[in-house]
Amino acid sequence: MLMEKTMRFAIHTLGCKVNQYESEKITSNLIGMGWEFVDFAAQPDVFIINSCTVTSVASHKSRQLIRRAIKGNSGALVVVAGCYADADRAEIEKIAGVGLVVGNGQKDRIPRLITAHLGIALDGNGDKQSIQAGQHGHTRALVKVQDGCDNFCTYCIVPYVRGDLWSRPADDVVAEVRALADGGTQEIVLTGIHLGLYGAGIDTDLGGLLARLVEVPNLGRIRLSSIELNEVSPQIIELMATSGKMANHLHIPLQSGSDAILKRMNRHYTAEEFIARARELQEKIENVAISTDIIVGFPGETDADFAESLRVVKEVGFSKLHVFKYSLRKGTPAATYDDQIPGSAKDARSMALINAGHTFAADFAARYVGKRLSVLIERGVGDRLSGVSDNYVRVYAHGPREIIGTLADIEIIEQEDTALYGRLVWKR
Ligand code: 5AD
Ligand code: SF4
């Protein structure tokens, strides 16, 4: 009897954790249909590019991947999904060799859209396959709980390409996390486009959801992706301080340290409010790490404004900085501001902040020499094990490979730049 050909697909993901989660979901759905997941270079039948457009660099990378998929492939279907597809659909449709352009609103239906396009039958229920399958057994798993943003920061394209606010029902989230924990996942990372808006449209909020998740048996720890300053509620602080289940790490975007720029960005806090809140969190949550995003070269940013950003990041004592050069996004208010900053100034400011951020990361790590950290052991590197502490520092230690995928207590012996080296003292 003739065997039916197994379809082979490759997927490449750009951008945020929500996009990564959605790619994992697409992957497990296609695998659930009997398709084979292969590398981009392995001549797949279908290429999927799950794109990003948050900056011009992200759009450029998305275009490069599309071209790479098309080049040298005859007959393969090239699917472009995600935020770049929503932002620049017409431009992408013009590229010869692109077969399908799928916006965020249709992402769930990708298996169905592909099979319809290829004129083949959809085996099983491709759209409804369990999203957990692909993540089972992973040490750390992403769990998407929220979509959309209605803040409309003046530089940001995201609210336009991600659509309406959506919160996943808490029962649904708890069920997924239970299944992941039972399958051996130690850490879950709650993700959303604007995570702190979780709860809009349903009868709970992020604190309420976390209060349920910390009770899930067999789960090591819960990490939050990005959250805004004013959304770290008293309940969240309390859980982080006392539950023992929350990773003591918060990623809180500052964006700028200048009040004038924050206002023009449509960010609803001042630099002093940010500093005061950060102090409060550092006092209430032992060993908390606070990392952040900063944009340099927003329209109208003077040397004095930039100096404020440098001052504020020093004062807060961030554990890590993600530095972005302002990128003009068509359709956003800031794109029309006439005091755009030249690239050379953005480059210089970005370099200065990246260097400062490196020093902060090393200083933060240094505080833990002689102390004990809880580390999720992820992999072996040479003769050592490597993992990430609950407050998000890279930690190395010698120990048996059997403990990969588990939480271990490590006594820190020395600092290695922004990372740490320690001795395994106890494993759960
Ligand atoms: N230019 C530069 N950085 C941006 N970000 C969002 N939009 C832009 C833009 N137009 C950054 C912000 C945000 C992070 C995810 O991306 O710092 O927090
Ligand atoms: Fe963009 Fe601001 Fe919404 Fe974050 S909060 S997604 S930066 S508009």
Q: Is the CB of 194 under 6 A from ligand 2?
A: yes
Confidence of residue 138 (pLDDT cuts 50, 70, 90): confident
Instruction: Name the residue with the closest Cα to ligand 2, atom 1.
Output: 156
pLDDT at 134 over 80: no
Contact 44, 78 (CB under 8 A): no
Map tokens 């492939």 to a residue.
73
Question: Atom 11, ligand 1: which residue's CA is nearest?
Answer: 324
Instruction: Please give the model's pTM, rounded to 2 decimal places.
Output: 0.93
Query: Distance from the CA of 55 to the center of ligand 1, in angstroms?
Result: 7
Tell how far the Cα of 312 is from the centroid of ligand 1, in angstroms: 18
Return the percentage of the chain with pLDDT > 90, whole number.
90
Q: Is the CB of 264 under 6 A from ligand 2?
A: no
> Which atom of ligand 2 is the closest one to the Cα of 266?
2
pLDDT, residue 98, reads 96
Average pLDDT, the chain: 93
pLDDT (tens digit, 9 = 90+) per residue, 161-209? 997 899 999 999 999 999 999 999 999 999 999 999 999 889 999 999 9
Q: How far is the CA of 147 from the centre of ligand 2 (A)?
A: 12
C-beta of residue 95 within 8 angstroms of C-beta of residue 66: yes
155 Cβ below 6 A of ligand 1 = yes
Please indicate whether residue 87, judged by its CB atom, sits closer than 6 Å to ligand 1.
no
Residue of the CA atom closest to atom 4 of ligand 2: 194
- Other CB atoms closer than 10 Å to residue 235's CB: what's the count? 14
pLDDT digits (tens, 9 = 90+) for 386-425: 999 999 999 999 999 999 999 999 999 999 999 999 999 9
Give the pLDDT of residue 5: 82
C-beta of 151 in contact with ligand 2 (< 6 A): yes
Is the shortest distance between the CB of 281 and ligand 1 below 6 Å?
Answer: no
Strands 46-51 and 166-167: what pairing? Answer: unpaired
- Report pLDDT for 127: 46
Ligand nearest to the CA of 149: 2
* Beta carbon of 426 within 6 Å of any ligand 2 atom: no
2 has pLDDT over 60: no
Helix (H, G, I), strand (E, B) or coil at 226: strand
Give the tens place of pLDDT for each residue, 209-260.
999 999 999 999 999 999 999 999 999 999 999 999 999 999 999 999 999 9
Q: Decide: helix, strand or coil at residue 51.
A: strand
154 vs 301: CA distance, rounded Å: 14
